[in-house]
Structure formats: C-alpha cells, structure tokens
Amino acid sequence: MIFNEIYGCYYNAVAKMISLAVEGELNEKKMYEIVAGDAFGESMFTIIPALKNQKWQLIDGNYKTPVVNKPTMPMTALERRWLKTILLDPRVALFQADVKGMDDVEPLFMPEDLIYFDRYSDGDPYDQTSYVENFHVIVQAIREHKKAEIKYQNRKEQERIQVLNPVKIEYSDKDDKFRVLCAGRKDITTINMGRIIRVKKLEESFSTTISLSFGKKETLIFKLTDERKTLERVLMKFAHYKKEVERLGENTYQVKMEYDMDEETDVLIQIMSFGSFVKMIAPAELKEKLRDRIKKQIDLFNFV
C-alpha cells in the first residue's frame, strides 16, 4: 500500500508527545503546541481529549508515559524501493550516500527506464573515474573551507590553472551538468565540473563568512490557463525556482516566480514553449523581448 496510517498527522503528533513524555518534558501547553503545528486545526478536539480521558492509554494525567523508548517511524517497503531507485542514479552516487541494508531491495525502476525530454544529450560523464575523483575533492574542499588548485579547460578548449575558493556546487537539469561556484573578492568564477582536468585541495583556508554575490534577481509574473495540464507542466518546468501560485478562476492561475537575470534567456524560451496558454504580465522589459522573439519567428515563417 502506498498509504500507511502510521504516517498520518495524528500518529506524528502523538509520537512527538510521547518523545517529550519519555524525557519528562511534556506539559499541557506543549501538547497543544504540537497539535497546532503537526495536525489539523480541529485535531485538538480529538487528540488531546483521547489522551486525557485515557481512551488512548499512552500518556497519563501527570504527562508520563508507559512507553520506554521514543517512537520511531519504520520505513515502508515502498519507501525502501524508492530510495533504492534514487541511489542507483549516478548523480546521487557522486555524494557517496550510505547504501547499507539496501542490497536486497528491488528498485521501483531502473535508470534506463527514464526518458528525459527538453534536455541536452551531452551531460557530464558521471561514471568517469577522473570526474568522480575531482567531484569528491571539490566537495571536501567546500566542506572544509579550503582553497583548491583547479586545472580546467575553458570554452576555447584552452587549459587554465587557478587557485580558487570553492563555495557551492550547482546542477543544471536542462544541461545535465554540475558546476562549481568559486567566490573571489569582486566576482564569481563558475567552472563546469566536466571541464575540470585535475583538482588539488590546498591546506590554506578561506573565510567561512565569504559568500557568493549573485546577480540581480527579477520577478516574473504570468497568468496561465490550465488546459492540457499546463499548470502541472509549468510547475514541473520551473520546479527549482522560488514561486507563488494564486488561483484566479476555475482554470486560471497567476504565478510569481523569482529568477536570476543571468538565466533570463532560458526562462524566456521556456515561457514561449507553453504558447497561448501562458500570458506574461511583468516585467515590462521581458515582455518586450518576448514580443521581439515572436515577431522574428513570424518573419522567418513568412520568409520561408
């Protein structure tokens, strides 16, 4: 079964109460706080009375419990199969996840069962030994705040060596590539992981307060008509962006989405892929660029 009642909010709320009771820290105020935060609003009229009148003989009138150990939530067979599927992904394997106890678990599906669309086919070589080793060194340098000497190929296929401060790793779903972001005094150096030839973690540390000064943020506002599963496709397409969705009518929605100006062209292309089901509201500059692109496409069609 996909649904299991032990994962319901009632069970989670009561489990938290029992855990506090085991520690001797439960009181009536905390019971109400747990119900308000972990269950439905009306649950306080069900859970707390059931515990107080001993219908559920788990917590007595002195907020003590006969339970000796804190409750834990066992993993269902479906969850284990899902986790096994995720662990088979070569991108997840890069992070050296613990796979103990998963040997006898049958995955829900295999990586080759997945078919990706709207993605470039020249993704990173995740199974390549040098790529894996470089990735691990970069991750270690980020965790330890150590400088790294990185030898890589630039876009002109020229080899470069730089000593950088690796701060963050990003993944592009469309490109199917990882890139490492390195912070400098005034700018950011971004290197595609697949272009790295060799990495050496240095003993010299850099400040833990150093941060990446990202480019300017912009807010995109558009309306959509939920036909042909447009809403579902939009949410999937822009899953990694911060956004708010407001329902305006029976099948119309307004979406506010924050994006980096550096990604403006990609966002514009993605918006255009939804055709007449999406209407851009703001920003004005992006609307103008959308008009220009549509006009160029029309002119090209008429020319042909």
Bridge-partner residues for 248, per DSSP?
Answer: none
For 230, residues 6+ apart whose C-beta sits below 8 A from its C-beta are 224, 274, 277, 278
d(CA 182, CA 164): 6
Q: Which two tokens stand for residue 122?
A: 């020249």
Q: Which two tokens stand for residue 60?
A: 């007595």
Q: Which two tokens stand for residue 147?
A: 């400088």
CATH number at residue 180: 2.30.30
The predicted pLDDT at position 1 comes to 38
Q: What are phi and psi of 64, to 5 degrees?
A: -105, 165
68: domain range?
1-73
Residues 196 and 243 placed together within one structural domain of the fold = no
Residues 68 and 85 placed together within one structural domain of the fold = no
Map residue 206 onto helix, strand or coil.
coil
d(CA 123, CA 115): 14
Model confidence over 85-119: pLDDT tens digits? 988 899 988 988 877 888 889 998 888 888 877 67
Identify the CA nearest to 245 among candidates 264, 262, 226.
226
The whole model's pTM is what? 0.59
Q: What are phi and psi of 62, to 5 degrees?
A: -95, 15
Q: Which two tokens stand for residue 112?
A: 């080759």
**Is the alpha carbon torsion for 27, 28, 29, 34 positive or negative?**
positive
d(CA 276, CA 269): 14
Does any domain span residue 123? no
Write 250-253 long-range contacts (CB < 8 A, 24+): 251/225, 251/226, 251/227, 252/223, 252/224, 252/225, 252/226, 253/223, 253/224, 253/226
**Residue 2 confidence class, pLDDT cut points 50, 70, 90:** very low
Model confidence over 9-46: pLDDT tens digits? 778 888 899 999 999 999 989 998 888 887 776 677 78
**Count of domains observed in the chain:** 4
Map residue 115 onto helix, strand or coil.
coil
The predicted pLDDT at position 125 comes to 94
Does any domain span residue 260? yes
Residues 36 and 105 placed together within one structural domain of the fold = no
Does any domain span residue 38? yes
Lowest-confidence region among 1-15, 120-134, 255-269: 1-15
Residues 221 and 185 placed together within one structural domain of the fold = no
The predicted pLDDT at position 213 comes to 52
Residues 84 and 66 placed together within one structural domain of the fold = no
d(CA 265, CA 258): 14
Model confidence over 197-238: pLDDT tens digits? 999 999 998 876 665 555 567 889 999 998 888 888 888 888
